[in-house]
Amino acid sequence: MPKIKIDKDRCKGCYLCVVNCPNGLIKVSKTLNVKGVKPAVFSGGKCTGCKMCAVICPDGGIIVYK
Which pLDDT score, from 0 to 100, does residue 1 have? 86
Q: What is the pLDDT along the chain (66 residues), one digit of tens a residue?
A: 899 999 999 999 999 999 999 999 999 999 999 999 999 999 999 999 999 999 999 999 999 998
> Which domain does 55 fall in, by range?
3-65
User: Residue 36 class from Cβ within 10 Å (0-12 exposed, 13-18 middle, 19+ buried)?
Assistant: exposed
- Rounded to a whole number of angstroms, the CA Rg of the chain reads 11
Instruction: Answer yes or no: pTM beyond 0.85.
Output: yes
Number of domains in the chain: 1
CATH at residue 26:
3.30.70.20
